[in-house]
């Protein structure tokens, strides 16, 4: 069997969640291949979501003569007609179309992008023999929006990546006690809600700082402007961080706050909990699905007062919250393993390649 993988997004530095997924899955699948199997990774410099992707990728794929193609996203070229499996990580834009419009693009460009998204997504779901999803929550979304996909869906899960580093504070960040947020600043992440909550909390907890990581883009610029205009104290934007810095930030935070209103899996809360850090998270179905109860403090999604209460509950007895988080961390390390996800995925790929 020759498995060809569209790996253009590979690496946490490219689209962090999807990039890490591709890297971890291919790394764990490779040792499972037999001598009769081959995995080829396409890493062409062809931008995803582009016209070039639609025209050039089918020709490039055909050069490798795949027994089966795996596109670990929904961006399958419309002209590709060979055997295919895909991964759908979430259906955010089906739930929250406004997330696609929150940019500097004109309304016409935004409309065209959404039209293209619907066309390419529908084609990928129709053409794929199997659709891998990370959680039951994503499976339910697929069935709701695309009822005919039900028989194709396979819940394969994801894993917890190793973020090893010395567990000491990094002087680069110059704070000793802090709440932490890790992720993008896209509208559905609700960083605006976190900043509103912090504006109140900062007055009661002068010993704390709010630390926010993430790529410095138009969305994060709006959050920075919000902090400046509202004169919110002690918010530290540290930009993009590597895995070693991220590990240190997780391990030394008083608590990790994740106010996102929508996720397909939600890797940062799992990573934080694995480091023994209490997690304060929106009470949305996927978070209930992937996180344990120990060390996790839920609040009603998009409710500022609920977030404040959850943070206060953690800070009121931090040693107890840390102890619970240590137990929760052990649970997530056992529950989410890339090797298991790779085995489930490869078994299905082989079965469809043989057809």
Q: Give the pLDDT confidence score for residue 109 in this predicted structure.
A: 63
Is pLDDT above 80 for 276?
A: yes
> What is the share, in percent, of the chain residues with pLDDT greater than 70?
90
Question: pLDDT (tens digit, 9 = 90+) per residue, 138-171?
Answer: 999 999 999 999 999 999 999 998 776 655 666 5
Instruction: Say which residues have a Cβ less than 8 Å from residue 317's Cβ, sequence separation at least 6.
Output: none
Asked if pLDDT for residue 240 goes beyond 70, the answer is yes
CATH class of the 178-335 domain in this structure: alpha beta
**pLDDT higher than 60, residue 289:** yes
Q: Is the pLDDT of residue 185 over 80?
A: yes
Cα distance between residue 278 and residue 256, in whole Å:
6
pLDDT of residue 354: 63
Of 177, 333, 332, 331, which is closest to residue 249 (Cα–Cα)? 177
> 13, 24, 2: which is closest to 70 by C-alpha?
2
Per mean pLDDT, which range of 6-20, 54-68, 315-329 is the poorest? 6-20
Domain 2-159+337-353 shares a fold with domain 178-335? yes
Range scoring the smallest mean pLDDT among 69-78, 109-118, 206-215: 109-118
Burial 12-30 (b: 16+ CB within 10 A, else e): beebbbbbbbbbbbbebbe
**142-146: long-range contacts (C-beta < 8 A, 24 or more apart)?**
142/88, 142/91, 145/91, 145/94, 146/122
At the top level of CATH, the class of 2-159+337-353 is alpha beta
pLDDT band at 116 (very low <50, low <70, confident <90, very high): confident
Residue with tokens 């990728």: 57
Pairing state between β 178-181 and 68-71: unpaired
**pLDDT classification of 16: cutoffs 50, 70, 90:** low
Mean pLDDT of 83-95: 93
Span 16-40, mean pLDDT? 93
* Pick from 75, 59, 90: nearest CA to 6: 75
Name 53's Cβ contacts closer than 8 Å, sequence gap at least 6: 46, 47, 75, 77
Q: Which of 322, 311, 248 has the alpha carbon at shortest distance from 278? A: 322
Interatomic CA distance for residues 104 and 106, integer angstroms? 7
Cα separation of 25 and 290, whole Å? 18
pLDDT digits (tens, 9 = 90+) for 95-108: 876 554 444 456 66
Indicate the domain borders of the chain. 2-159+337-353, 178-335
Choice among 94-98, 274-278, 291-295 with the minimum mean pLDDT: 94-98
CB 269 within 8 A of CB 256: yes
């Amino acid at each position: 069997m020759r498995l060809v993988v569209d790996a253009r997004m590979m690496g946490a530095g490219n689209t962090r969640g999807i990039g890490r997924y591709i890297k971890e899955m291919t790394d764990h699948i490779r040792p499972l291949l037999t001598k009769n199997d081959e995995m080829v990774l396409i890493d062409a410099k062809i931008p995803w979501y582009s016209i070039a992707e639609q025209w050039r990728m089918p020709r490039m794929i055909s050069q490798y003569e795949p027994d089966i193609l795996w596109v670990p996203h929904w961006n399958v070229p419309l002209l590709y007609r060979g055997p295919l499996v895909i991964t759908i990580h979430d259906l955010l834009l089906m739930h929250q179309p406004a997330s696609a419009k929150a940019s500097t693009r004109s309304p016409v460009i935004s409309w065209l992008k959404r039209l293209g998204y619907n066309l390419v997504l529908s084609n990928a779901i129709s053409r794929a023999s199997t659709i891998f999803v990370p959680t039951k929550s994503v499976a339910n979304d697929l069935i709701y929006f695309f009822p005919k996909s039900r028989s194709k869906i396979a819940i394969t899960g994801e894993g917890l990546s190793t973020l090893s580093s010395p567990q000491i504070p990094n002087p680069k960040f110059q704070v000793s006690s802090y709440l932490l947020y890790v992720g993008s600043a896209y509208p559905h992440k609700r960083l605006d809600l976190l900043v509103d909550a912090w504006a109140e909390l900062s007055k009661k907890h002068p010993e704390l700082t709010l630390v926010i990581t993430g790529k410095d883009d138009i969305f994060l610029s709006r959050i920075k402007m919000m902090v400046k205009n509202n004169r919110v104290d002690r918010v530290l934007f540290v930009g993009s961080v590597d895995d070693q810095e991220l590990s240190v930030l997780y391990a030394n935070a008083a608590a990790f706050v994740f106010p996102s209103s929508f996720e397909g899996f939600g890797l940062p809360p799992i990573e934080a909990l694995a480091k023994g850090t209490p997690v304060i998270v929106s009470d949305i179905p996927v978070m209930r699905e992937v996180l344990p109860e120990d060390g996790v403090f839920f609040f009603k999604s998009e409710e500022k007062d609920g977030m404040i209460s959850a943070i206060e509950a953690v800070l009121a007895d931090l040693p107890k919250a840390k102890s619970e988080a240590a137990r929760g961390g052990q649970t997530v390390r056992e529950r989410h393993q890339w090797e298991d996800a790779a085995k489930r995925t490869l078994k299905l790929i082989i079965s469809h390649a043989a057809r």
